[in-house]
């Protein structure tokens, strides 16, 4: 059987039949168990999920169910029961997110826009510290390897967040929030081994303290598995590699982190974090002269300090963060230092919930060609001019949430920034929120956001050796300006079903010399709908399904309009958590994406991925789980990049043993 030509619909039907039979059999066996016993097995019920509180949408804490944005929360329970061991893989379960593997170590993660390795219109943070790199515009997901056991939740916004978080938060914002030290006291260790996406992993965490002062130290080391070469029509090796052979694209990583939390009073919170990492990543580059192995070595340190005073009605918050990263491969050697100062004050005055703030960002980068002697007229090297650059960005925020009546709210505000590329930028929003009761939410919004130029796009050059260089960047590149129109409905029915529907239309433009026009460089329009359903048919069984429809049009330099490539029109997910008696857990995640056309004319086939986790609480301190991933196909393609040999995702299994006390 040709697995590359298999019918995803037939796979869905076969898998659904098997899972349905298994789930019904297990559910029937649980019917005799007492309700109290089963309730204790479910760590987080559907009602608790509805009441999860977030701060990403409005920069102040609120119920995710009542947020005036397309918000999704990946909880610590989702992380544990997914079985996933790499951070970007968790984002598959988010409606409206497109997650694809380029090879065993690299991902493309995007929301509502073109799928690519560096999604420059999506902002990503860890505890509010930006990991978006201004060099390429995007995130090096292969370097984000903090222990997943330390994550409290991941808040995700699909759509614009520039009013709250600044430039480049155009199509989505992700904030990875780690657990407080008070919640991680004691000892936790784990060991894992497998084949496929992960080969081996070991980690440990130790924490101590009390409710007022606590600290933790955690670490993780792992080696990933390798991908497999794909047929030439699904990759870009042009027949130079044999399909099915193991590829040279694995990762070795070490991460160590320290966190301390303390408070002098209930309203005065202090947090300090420090992290260090060292990572080796293999890949293969596709160049005009052939295919060559490329090994990247990266290491870095980062720290964060947060001081928070007061409550929601009158709160002051100061956040300082600093990160230093070095990334060297066979093409470029770059060093970056990124520092942020963020100040925020929130105050309730009558019917007004005001938020004001400001910030400063320091960015220094040094980028050099790894082997200047290899540059020639036949094989030019890509570099930057100037090689060193320091950028400073200033911002201010003002936002007002006005209570029109007990059920209706108007949120208006704007972020004002000054950056070294395009100067002054503003990002206003107007949102209307309607909350008729605790079980219903309706909202609409209009937002203007911007994506500022990247260092590569501004300063890029081709070096032909002997001092001959040709600029390929545009130092006068304009900002991308996006007008986003969106709205959503949420409702919790009396029998427990929760429905969340969001729709959007994004109009992309460019701003040059103060004038806005349809862009010849970026998507002209994107629109779509995202639907999420949650239910708890039985006390020990929670399920979730989502469907996303995304499409758009691109405007070419000649003015022609065509269907936008690189964007799956249809994606769907299904997630199931089932608690079985005697400490057993059976969890499933299905992820489907439709076929799409790449920019070069190649078609990326549709695929269906199925992951299953089986867990067992052996005792109060020991837990055992096995994660089976990509069960339906031996290997499949998910994403492609012009200058990289993409590889297939193989079938895999990972066994993890965990001890805690």
Lookup: tokens for 319: 């956040």
pLDDT reported for residue 616? 95
The candidate with the shortest Cα–Cα distance to 384, out of 338, 324, 333, is 333
| 426 contacts: CB under 8 Å, gap ≥ 6 | 414, 415, 416, 417, 448
**Domain tally for the chain?**
1
Lookup: tokens for 144: 């984000």
By residue count, the chain amounts to 661
pLDDT reported for residue 516? 59
The reported pTM is 0.91
CA distances from 90 to 74, 142, 575, 625, 630 (A): 8, 13, 12, 17, 14
What is the CATH number for 222? 2.40.170.20
HEC profile of 185-246:
CEEEEEEEEEECCEEEEEEEEEEEECCCEEEEEEEEEEEECCCECCCHHHCCCCCCCCCCCE
| CA trace torsion 5, 6, 7, 12 (10° rounding) | -150
Task: Evaluate whether 624 touches 161 at the Cβ level (below 8 Å).
Answer: no
pLDDT reported for residue 558? 67
Lookup: tokens for 571: 């994606």
Q: In angstroms, rounded to a whole number, what is the distance separating the alpha carbons of residues 649 and 607?
A: 11
Q: In angstroms, rounded to a whole number, what is the distance separating the alpha carbons of residues 58 and 355?
A: 9
| 187 contacts: CB under 8 Å, gap ≥ 6 | 204, 205, 206, 659, 660, 661
Lookup: tokens for 646: 């993409």
Domain that holds residue 124: 3-660
pLDDT along the chain (661 residues), means of 10: 44 48 48 40 66 86 93 95 94 92 92 84 94 91 96 95 91 95 96 94 96 96 94 85 92 97 87 97 85 92 96 90 95 95 96 96 95 88 94 97 96 96 95 96 97 93 91 91 96 91 91 54 78 92 95 74 76 95 94 83 87 95 95 87 87 96 92
| 345 contacts: CB under 8 Å, gap ≥ 6 | 315, 316, 317, 355, 356, 357
Phi and psi at residue 647, to the nearest 5°: -125, 170
Task: Evaluate whether 533 touches 498 at the Cβ level (below 8 Å).
Answer: yes
The candidate with the shortest Cα–Cα distance to 15, out of 626, 421, 589, is 589
pLDDT reported for residue 494? 83
Strands (E), 370-422: 381-384, 388-403, 408-419
| Residue 173, beta-bridge partner list | 123, 157
């Amino acid at each position: 059987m040709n697995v590359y030509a298999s019918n995803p619909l037939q796979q869905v039907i076969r898998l659904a039949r098997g899972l349905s039979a298994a789930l019904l059999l297990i559910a029937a066996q649980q019917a005799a168990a007492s309700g109290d016993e089963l309730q204790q097995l479910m760590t987080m019920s559907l009602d608790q999920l509805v009441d999860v509180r977030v701060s990403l949408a409005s920069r102040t804490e609120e119920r995710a169910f009542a947020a005036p944005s397309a918000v999704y929360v990946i909880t610590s329970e989702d992380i544990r029961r997914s079985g996933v061991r790499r951070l970007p893989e968790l984002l598959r379960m988010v409606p409206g997110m497109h997650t694809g593997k380029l090879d065993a170590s690299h991902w493309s993660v995007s929301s509502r826009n073109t799928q690519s390795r560096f999604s420059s219109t999506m902002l990503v943070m860890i505890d509010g510290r930006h990991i978006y790199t201004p060099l390429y515009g995007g995130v090096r997901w292969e370097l984000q390897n903090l222990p997943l056991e330390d994550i409290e939740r991941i808040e995700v916004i699909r759509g614009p967040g520039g009013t709250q978080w600044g430039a480049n938060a155009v199509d989505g914002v992700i904030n990875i929030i780690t657990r407080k030290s008070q919640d991680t006291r004691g000892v936790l260790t784990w060991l894992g081994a497998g084949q496929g996406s992960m080969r081996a992993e070991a980690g440990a965490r130790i924490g101590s303290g009390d409710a007022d002062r606590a600290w933790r130290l955690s670490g993780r080391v792992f080696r990933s598995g390798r991908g497999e070469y794909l047929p030439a029509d699904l990759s870009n090796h042009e027949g130079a590699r044999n399909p099915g052979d193991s590829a040279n694209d694995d990762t070795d990583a070490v991460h160590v982190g320290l966190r301390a939390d303390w408070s002098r009073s209930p309203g005065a919170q202090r947090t300090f974090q420090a992290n260090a990492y060292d990572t080796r990543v293999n890949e293969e580059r596709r160049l005009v002269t052939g295919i060559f192995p490329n090994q990247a070595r990266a290491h870095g340190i980062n720290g964060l300090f947060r001081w928070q005073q007061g409550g929601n009605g009158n709160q002051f918050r100061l956040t300082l963060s600093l990160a230093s990263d070095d990334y060297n491969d066979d093409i470029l050697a770059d060093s970056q230092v990124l520092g942020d100062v963020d100040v925020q004050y929130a105050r309730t005055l009558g019917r007004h919930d005001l938020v004001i703030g400001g910030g400063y960002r320091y960015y220094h980068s040094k980028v050099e060609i790894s082997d200047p002697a290899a540059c020639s007229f036949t094989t030019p090297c890509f570099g930057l001019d100037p090689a060193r650059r320091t950028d400073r960005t200033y911002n201010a925020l003002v936002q007002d949430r006005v209570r029109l009546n007990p059920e209706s709210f108007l949120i208006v505000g704007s972020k004002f920034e000054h950056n070294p590329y395009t100067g002054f930028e503003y990002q206003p929003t107007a949102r209307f929120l309607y909350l008729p009761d605790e079980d219903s939410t309706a909202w609409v919004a209009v937002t203007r956001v911007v994506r500022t130029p990247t260092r590569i796009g501004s300063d890029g050059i081709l070096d032909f050796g002997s001092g001959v260089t040709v600029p390929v960047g545009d130092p006068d590149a304009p900002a991308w300006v996006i007008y986003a129109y969106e709205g959503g409905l949420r409702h919790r029915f009396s029998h427990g079903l929760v429905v969340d529907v969001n729709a959007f239309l994004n109009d992309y433009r460019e701003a040059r010399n103060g004038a806005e026009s349809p862009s010849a460089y970026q998507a002209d329009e994107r629109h779509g709908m995202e639907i999420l359903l949650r239910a708890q048919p039985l006390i020990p069984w929670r399920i979730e399904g989502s469907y996303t429809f995304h499409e758009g049009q691109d405007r070419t330099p000649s003015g022609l309009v065509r269907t936008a490539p690189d964007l799956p029109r249809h994606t769907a997910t299904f997630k199931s958590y089932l608690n079985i008696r005697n400490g057993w857990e059976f969890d499933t995640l299905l992820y489907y994406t439709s076929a799409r056309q790449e920019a070069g004319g190649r078609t990326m086939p549709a695929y269906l991925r199925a992951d299953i986790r089986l867990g067992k609480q052996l005792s109060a301190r020991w837990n055992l789980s096995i994660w089976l991933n990509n069960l339906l196909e031996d290997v499949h393609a998910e994403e492609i990049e012009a200058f990289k040999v993409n590889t297939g995702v193989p079938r895999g299994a990972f066994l993890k043993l965990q001890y805690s006390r």
